[in-house]
Structure 1
Amino acid sequence: MPNSVPSSLNGWWSDYKSEIGFLGFSYAVDGCQSASTLKSEFKDIRKRFHGRYVRLYGACDRNGFYDDVVDAAWDAGLGVHALIWFGFDGSDVWKTRRDSLFATLHSNPKAKFVTRAVQFGSEPLFDHVLPPDTLASQVKSAKQNLAPLGILVTVSDMAYGYQSNGGAQSVLDAVDFVDLHMLPFFSTTATTADASWGFVQNDLKWINSKVHGKKIILSENGWPSMQSGSTRSSSPTAVADVQQEQAYFDLLDSKCEVFKNNPGGGVGWFAHLYSEEQGAGYGILDNGKLKFPFSPRTSC
């Protein structure tokens, strides 16, 4: 990062075509990490794994938390995909989170230089939080609000989330790019991770047919290393262990050239999640140590 905040975003963000392969980690913030923890872990993502972004997951409602995220991202040289978290209680707290985030984005001079995008999610369509047209209106309103800052707006959901809402074309038309959840472990026909490429291809084919060449990023994306509670597959043949978690990311890494040729500048992907402490079964790290070798390609 430069020594002082630039005066303009001109030429600041990389072209979509360079944002393929591994982009970084989904990073759960339910623990309301301290400023020092954010700085330490963001630097680890940048230096050890060559991550370019963190995709926030969950919510921390502590006053000033996103300012801490901005500072940590600036220090580490990372971009952020921020998130408006709806939660699962059916309340309107997401509106307060939206307004608080937008206020910080406008008031913190560094915020627009690290915040690449704001996501409405996670899985608001699948969870039927808002009707598609209402969600699309929220996206359009957010785009108006954030346009002076050059921040993109999207929705983070599964292909099935759209399909179960009649395609939700109004949402796909409204978003700047597509944040697509890719969780083949939960398919009714899931077996092992190395056999999941057909599922990935089918979801990409469907989304590509609906978005007229928009960029696609796999946001909530992974294969769990254990089955328990929310990480239990609906397929009796689905296998969950550390080897399968590794095999899934190895599969994605091996398809770099295929992703590169996808319309809209290719497909980039996040690994869900940074650590086991943020979500048991999904972390790449466990108590600071790698669960398996992980050094995916960031270009090809």
Structure 2
Amino acid sequence: MPPKPKNVAHYGLAWLALILATLAGLAWWWQIGRLIALPDAPSARIACVSYAPFRKPGETPFDTQFVMTPERIDEDLRALSQRFDCVRTYSQGNGLAAVPAIAARYHMQVLMGIWLGGVAKTNEREIEQGIATAKANPGVIRGVVVGNEVLLRGELSPKRLTEFIQRVRSAVPAAIPVTYADVWENWLRYPQMGSAVDFVTIHILPYWEDNPVAAVDAVHHVEEVYQRMQRMFPGKQVMIGETGWPSAGRLRRSAEPSLVDEAFYLRSFLRYAAEVRMPYNVIEAFDQPWKRALEGTVGGYWGIFDSDAKPKFPMLGPVREEPHWWLGWLAGMSGSIAFACIGGRRRSWQGLRGWIALALMGFAAGTAVAWQLRQMLFACEGWWEWLLSSVCLAGAWVIAAALARRIAAHLADRHDHTEPSPWWRYAALFALVLYDILLAFNGRYMDFPMGLFALPCVAYGLFGLLTHEFSMPSAEQRFMACVAPVLAIVPVVQEAGVSKVTWLWLGLNLAISVPVWVAWRCHRLQAYQTQAAD
């Protein structure tokens, strides 16, 4: 079939898309590199912080045989004593029964946890060890937390939990108060638990609310909840046992995990807590890599310190999301050079427009790759995750580079209508639909790999915009192109249309799918016209 006349509108849209993609890469990396002015915390010291020592690869409380050494706990508490007056623990296992005695060396108090669950033997062991620890360290224990969110998990009934609380209270020294900790909504569901405890311990995590709250509004939400709980339990002291903000992970509606938002929330909360003189505990001391298996990327990044025990942000002055933001621009320039080398070899076109197109596509692709690599640094833990992610990213880069040669030729007025391989678009659509299914049906803890899928989706979108009349997609591709956007709408609805990331994800699905629809329609129309002419 001879080449058809150039569609000026399509070419104009292609140039506009290239420019916008390049500007998006520039702007995103510049934005996360800016210094953001934030309110200062009233003090660098914090009253109490959740402490779990499982901050190194392979360390997890699910390994019941693993015992944290007293030396490591001593190392952690010595560092934490410079910033915190108290630590909260959650269990007696894995060597954590040693925390109160070690904390005493650094003049710290302990809000000591006894972990309860659905296994009777484990509960019995935890209670016996907790009672013994409290008796051995009466001057250090600020309070005993009997059970953490066990009602939320549905592993114990309120009656059975109350029995455990009463048993612990009758056994520990009278000066040590006993409580139970759960999300604030569960205290509304089980108000009878208020009479079972010496003080009420509530968890308020604005990010994890059923209706997530943005960081800018989060402290106001905490204030409303705290006042409501005080009214509900008059005469009882109400303590916030957990509050905090994650520094990395997926967006939940308008609640965005980021280092800047974590610093903003924590500083703002500490100012509020100082004003009302409330007892509180923030979550948590160190980032916990093991939590990613439970809660996705976001679960591992609630720490005030990272997993290497280094502070993630200061309590005074401005904060920058990414100190090495310039690496994104460097990756973009590297991408421009790479695409120029790949697209310039054995080229069938002449002129400046082709080189400009390659430079723009390369820069946008390079910044997308850098974005994905940054996400992988947060999300990938095991070697197999790194291997799978790296292979997928390499494949996406190859597809984008191969299509860039043809797009540049088109924009330089040298038509090249052949796809690199029909299987490549098939593979890209298959991977996209598979991930769409996971997001639609089990996506609460899943990230959106925007950088990975931006490469093939945007590249095929541009390629299809310029060449849709010349290739007929296979039946499988047509099916997946119809299914993908429908599935991509589900996260938009789940996030109430508020999450900008879900809209961008839908946009990527449409970018690769719409050209398939158009090509399908054009070929059906052509077939109809041919039949009519015959």
TM-score (normalised: structure 1): 0.76
State how 1:1-300 maps to structure 2 within 5 Å.
22-29=46-53, 30=61, 32-47=67-82, 49=83, 51-58=84-91, 60-62=93-95, 65-66=96-97, 68-87=98-117, 90-92=118-120, 93-106=122-135, 108=136, 111-148=137-174, 150-163=175-188, 165=189, 168-227=190-249, 235-260=252-277, 267-277=278-288, 280-286=300-306, 287-294=308-315
Query: Per the alignment, in what secondary structure is the counterpart of residue 289 of structure 1?
Result: coil
Counterpart of 2:374 in structure 1 is none
Query: Per the alignment, in what secondary structure is the counterpart of residue 226 of structure 1?
Result: coil
Structure with the higher fraction of residues in strand conformation = 1
The answer to whether the Cα contact below 8 Å between 1:220 and 1:272 also exists between their aligned partners in 2 is yes
Distance in 1 (CA, whole Å) between partners of 2:274 and 2:48 is 18
Q: CA deviation at 1:127?
A: 1.6
Q: CA deviation at 1:59?
A: 5.1
Range 238-247 or range 276-285, more displaced: 276-285
Seen in structure 2, the aligned counterparts of structure 1 residues 53 and 253 have a Cα distance that, compared at 3 Å, is same
Structure 1 counterpart of 2:74, one-letter code: K
Unaligned runs of 5+ in 1: 1-20, 261-266, 296-300
Structure 2 counterpart of 1:281, one-letter code: Y
| Count of aligned pairs between the two proteins | 250
Regions of 4+ moved over 4 Å: none
Structure with the higher fraction of residues in helix conformation = 2
Residue identity (%): 22
Range 218-227 or range 273-282, more displaced: 273-282
The answer to whether the Cα contact below 8 Å between 1:126 and 1:160 also exists between their aligned partners in 2 is no
The answer to whether the Cα contact below 8 Å between 1:226 and 1:281 also exists between their aligned partners in 2 is yes
Deviations 1:133-155 (A, max 9, x none): 3322322222111144x211000
Counterpart of 1:13 in structure 2 is none
The answer to whether the Cα contact below 8 Å between 1:154 and 1:175 also exists between their aligned partners in 2 is yes
Unaligned runs of 5+ in 2: 1-44, 54-60, 292-299, 317-534
Counterpart of 2:295 in structure 1 is none
Deviations 1:168-195 (A, max 9, x none): 2221112111221110111243342121
Seen in structure 2, the aligned counterparts of structure 1 residues 136 and 170 have a Cα distance that, compared at 3 Å, is farther
Range 278-287 or range 245-254, more displaced: 278-287
The answer to whether the Cα contact below 8 Å between 1:125 and 1:162 also exists between their aligned partners in 2 is no
Query: Per the alignment, in what secondary structure is the counterpart of residue 247 of structure 2?
Result: coil
The answer to whether the Cα contact below 8 Å between 1:259 and 1:268 also exists between their aligned partners in 2 is no
Seen in structure 2, the aligned counterparts of structure 1 residues 196 and 242 have a Cα distance that, compared at 3 Å, is same
Deviations 1:43-98 (A, max 9, x none): 22222x1x221100355245xx51x22321111111111111125xx322122111
Q: CA deviation at 1:114?
A: 0.9
Distance in 1 (CA, whole Å) between partners of 2:165 and 2:138 is 18
Distance in 1 (CA, whole Å) between partners of 2:114 and 2:106 is 23
Higher RCO structure (Cα 8 Å, ≥6 apart): 1
Deviations 1:195-224 (A, max 9, x none): 112321232122112221322222221111
Counterpart of 2:3 in structure 1 is none
The answer to whether the Cα contact below 8 Å between 1:172 and 1:210 also exists between their aligned partners in 2 is no
Deviations 1:23-60 (A, max 9, x none): 1210015374311121222122222x1x2211003552
Distance in 2 (CA, whole Å) between partners of 1:190 and 1:277 is 22
Distance in 2 (CA, whole Å) between partners of 1:191 and 1:216 is 22
- Cα-Cα RMSD: 2.2
